[in-house]
Structure 1
Amino acid sequence: MFKAAIRVNKIKTVAQLRGATLHAERHDEIGKARVREGAVPGEALAWSKAEASDRDYLAAFKAHKAEMQAGERKNAPLAMQALCVVSPEWVQAVGDLHDRDNPRNIALFDQAKAWAESWAGKGAVFGARLDLDEKGGAVVDLMIAPVRNSRAKLVISTQKALVDLKAATGERNEYAALQTSWAEWCRAHLDQNITRGLRRELTGREHLSPETYGQVMDKAREAVQRPAESLLGVLQAVDLSSGETELLRDYLLLRGEISRHREDPRSYAPPKGEVDQEWVASTAPETQDPWKLISAFRKGAEYILTAAQRFGVGLDELRRPDGHEAGRKWFPVLADRLHLGAVVAKCGAFCAHAEAFVKNLQQSDSSRKLYQDQLWPHNATELVARYNRHLGLDFPQHVTTEQKRDRGVSQRQEVVKFDHRSGRTGTTQQRDKDDGWER
């Protein structure tokens, strides 16, 4: 029996459409990295509503709106991206997985588009692609912008289309409805031996970039594979030495940080040390040995760097042009390596911040102020920025100034903060809580 699965992400910004275009055209670093050896980059079955290019999804989206005479709803998604998956073995049963002339590749490509328009509406798909240049296959990438009538106006509404589909399938949530609907369509139009994948929660990510596309693709392929053995059962059956236990401990620690970063990359903060920044600020001026305080402050971040080094994911490896390949043996999924790279970079930046923060508190000469990029690990913020780009994250640098005005005199209180997203130290001007001004 073969399996069918769906993965969906909502597209909320024009920047995401541009990013999807760059990935489809293999202009981004990660898109290039996913091309298998010997393949022609960009080889695919592809179509879009754009006149000039079958992969320019921004142009295709604009053409779609003009064709459908539909507007956008404020603060609503512009479109959704659906990855329609079947077991690769189904395609391979009649030919090569990466052959554009394989009749099953052609049928999968055509039927995925037909399926989406069966519930999203005729003409709802504005882009479709089945990549043939990657190691995997049997995944059709659809760009969908359903149009619905709202107060006598035609508007793009992904939510209404999903609600309608849920009602039609009788499923409890929209994503389960997509899974069921796609499996039933595959059975009816491709092969009666194709069945629905295991019921498991679909990815809840709503931010899609060229790099997270790879993560979604890996999740999609995972959905049609045989369920893994119970981790607990495996551990109970294995006799581990003390060294192996330590290795497993560090591996699981890094896995946990990958998951934590994936859940909310913008708010990720390195693991806590033995003391927090507030305690350091009050203690540093009276501490004779700064390193004892620095080590306690950044202990959690340093441990991550040490653990990552054991698996070949050190800062030096990440700085290489092919840094996203570091640790492939232990972390075969590209998305995991990207998130781990971001974790290591941010922990490195925090280590440099901790040293600068403590030492600056211990000396009063502002001309001798230390900056974190001057300290170990040097220029870690550049690595943070690199992995933010890999993951489609964009963090503008800014300083917020809040002023207290008392009898015409401005008073400012400077507070040092570490931005875990950008890896940089910043200052914020804060007012006293009782200043009486509206915020």
Structure 2
Amino acid sequence: MFKSAIRVNKIKTVAQLRGLSLHAERHDEIGQARVREGAVAGEALAWSKAETSDRDYVAAFKAHKAELGAGERKNAPLAMQALCVVSPEWVQQAGDLHDRANPRNVALFEQAKAWAESWAGKGAVFGVRLDLDEKGGAVVDLMIAPVRESRGKPIISTQKPLNELKAATGERNEYAALQTSWAEWCQEHLDHSITRGLRRDLTAREHLSPETYGAVLDKAREAVQRPSESVLGVLQAADLSWNDTDRLRDYLLLRGEISRHKEDPHAYEPPPGSLSRDAVEEARLFEPNTWKLISALRQGAEQIVETAFSFGMGLDKLRRPDGHEAGRKWFPSLVDRLHLGAVIAKCGVFCAQAEALVKNLRIEDPAQHLKPERLWPEESFELVERYNRHLGLDLPQHSQAHHERQREQVEEPHAVRTERRERSHDDDYDHGL
């Protein structure tokens, strides 16, 4: 039995389209990291409406608007990205998963576009890509900008066709409608044995960076895989030595921090120490040992930094150009490694801040106060910014500082702004999910 799945994201700025182009062309480090050993980077079945490149989504979007004579609605998404997935085993039945001549790769590539235009409208797709250079496969990446008439004029509208699809399928929300529609299309046009994947919540990401793309792609692939065996069942059946149990405790500690960071990256705080800041300020009056207070304050954060080091994710390795590869043996998912890298960096920053705080409490002259950026571990401050960019948490800085170094400036349409926008009635996936 084979599965199908869909993942969809809003595209709200031209900067996001540019980032997706860089990823498709393998100019970004995360895109390069996803290329499997021995593969030709960028190998793919690809098409777009751009005359210059089948992966220049900015040019393709402009050509799309010109072709359909469509305008944009203020504060509304420009387009949407859809990842159309089937079980890789279905493709492998007819040949190699990464062979562009495999008839099932070709059929999947063609039918994904046909499916999108069956509900979004003829000509709604302006870019299609099926990557063949990654370890995985059977995922078609679509760029869709549906056009509907508004007050007698053609306007890009992502929400209206989704509402139409929801009504047609009878599903409770747009995401469920997309899942059902794609599964039914696969059964009719690809193979009747393909069934709908597990129902999962839609990713609610506002910023679509190349790194975010990788995270969403991993989620999409999870939807067509078999459910994992119960962790509790595995532990109950396992015969663990003392050393194994000790190692497992450390591993679960890091996994727990990954989960906490995923829940709310912006609000993440390192694990607390044995003394709080207020308690340290009181204790300094009767505790002469400064380092004892520092250790108590940053105990939780320091434990994370030290434990991560033992799993091959020391701050020195994270600083390298391929730092996102550190710890792959223990954390094979790139998404998990990016979140853990951010956790380690933030814990490192807390360690430096804790040392500065306690030492400065004993220095009366503010001009002599120590700066955290100059205390161990100094590299953690830079890493926080780096992993914010990796996770799409700092898009404006990322898109201008990183993207513009590698690509000519493309003038954005007057109606498009790169700053944060207020939601409008035409915004995607904000209704009933």
Does the Cα contact within 8 Å between 1:42 and 1:131 map onto a contact in 2?
Answer: yes
In the alignment, is residue 16 of structure 1 matched against residue 16 of structure 2? yes
Does the Cα contact within 8 Å between 1:108 and 1:138 map onto a contact in 2?
Answer: yes
Residue matched to 1:333: 333
Residue matched to 2:358: 358
Superposition deviation, residue 321 in structure 1: 2.5
Superposition deviation, residue 284 in structure 1: 5.0
TM-score w.r.t. the length of structure 2 is 0.86
Residue matched to 2:170: 170
Does the Cα contact within 8 Å between 1:285 and 1:362 map onto a contact in 2?
Answer: no
2:222 aligned counterpart, secondary structure: helix
Residue matched to 2:423: none
Residue matched to 1:42: 42
In the alignment, is residue 312 of structure 1 matched against residue 312 of structure 2? yes
Task: Name whichever of 268-277 and 26-35 sits farther off.
Answer: 268-277
Superposition deviation, residue 115 in structure 1: 0.5
CA deviations over 1:142-167 (Å, ceiling 9, x no partner): 11122233444433222222222111
| 1:326-405 mapped onto 2 (5 Å cutoff) | 326-394=326-394
Task: Name whichever of 364-373 and 135-144 sits farther off.
Answer: 364-373
Residue matched to 2:94: 94
Higher RCO (C-alpha under 8 Å, 6+ residues apart): 2
Superposition deviation, residue 141 in structure 1: 0.4
Q: Distance in 1 between matches of 2:208 and 2:395?
A: 16
Q: Distance in 2 between matches of 1:237 and 1:148?
A: 58
Does the Cα contact within 8 Å between 2:276 and 2:297 map onto a contact in 1?
Answer: yes
Structure 1: runs of 5 or more not aligned: 398-439
Equivalent position amino acid for 2:123 in 1? G
CA deviations over 1:132-189 (Å, ceiling 9, x no partner): 1111111100111222334444332222222221111111222111111111101111
Does the Cα contact within 8 Å between 2:313 and 2:327 map onto a contact in 1?
Answer: yes
The structure in which a higher percent of residues are strand is 1
In the alignment, is residue 225 of structure 1 matched against residue 225 of structure 2? yes
Task: Name whichever of 30-39 and 308-317 sits farther off.
Answer: 308-317
Equivalent position amino acid for 1:45 in 2? L
Residue matched to 1:431: none
Does the Cα contact within 8 Å between 2:46 and 2:130 map onto a contact in 1?
Answer: yes
Residue matched to 1:191: 191
Residue matched to 1:109: 109
2:262 aligned counterpart, secondary structure: helix
| 1:248-259 mapped onto 2 (5 Å cutoff) | 248-259=248-259
Residue matched to 1:408: none
Does the Cα contact within 8 Å between 2:207 and 2:393 map onto a contact in 1?
Answer: no
Equivalent position amino acid for 2:331 in 1? F
| 1:56-95 mapped onto 2 (5 Å cutoff) | 56-95=56-95
Does the Cα contact within 8 Å between 2:209 and 2:395 map onto a contact in 1?
Answer: no
Does the Cα contact within 8 Å between 1:285 and 1:361 map onto a contact in 2?
Answer: no
Equivalent position amino acid for 1:94 in 2? A
CA-based RMSD: 2.1
TM-score w.r.t. the length of structure 1 is 0.85
Distance 1:296 1:13, change over 3 A: farther
Distance 1:279 1:61, change over 3 A: farther
Residue matched to 1:124: 124
Superposition deviation, residue 92 in structure 1: 1.4
Superposition deviation, residue 93 in structure 1: 1.3
Q: Distance in 2 between matches of 1:205 and 1:163?
A: 20
Q: Distance in 1 between matches of 2:120 and 2:277?
A: 51
Residue matched to 1:148: 148
Does the Cα contact within 8 Å between 2:207 and 2:395 map onto a contact in 1?
Answer: no
Superposition deviation, residue 59 in structure 1: 1.9
Residue matched to 2:417: none
Superposition deviation, residue 61 in structure 1: 1.8
Distance 1:267 1:152, change over 3 A: farther
Residue matched to 2:264: 264
Q: Distance in 2 between matches of 1:284 and 1:46?
A: 64
In the alignment, is residue 2 of structure 1 matched against residue 11 of structure 2? no
Superposition deviation, residue 213 in structure 1: 1.4
2:130 aligned counterpart, secondary structure: strand
Superposition deviation, residue 196 in structure 1: 1.2
Distance 1:124 1:279, change over 3 A: farther
Structure 2: runs of 5 or more not aligned: 398-433
Residue matched to 1:200: 200
Distance 1:283 1:277, change over 3 A: same
When the two structures are aligned, how many residues end up with a matched partner? 397
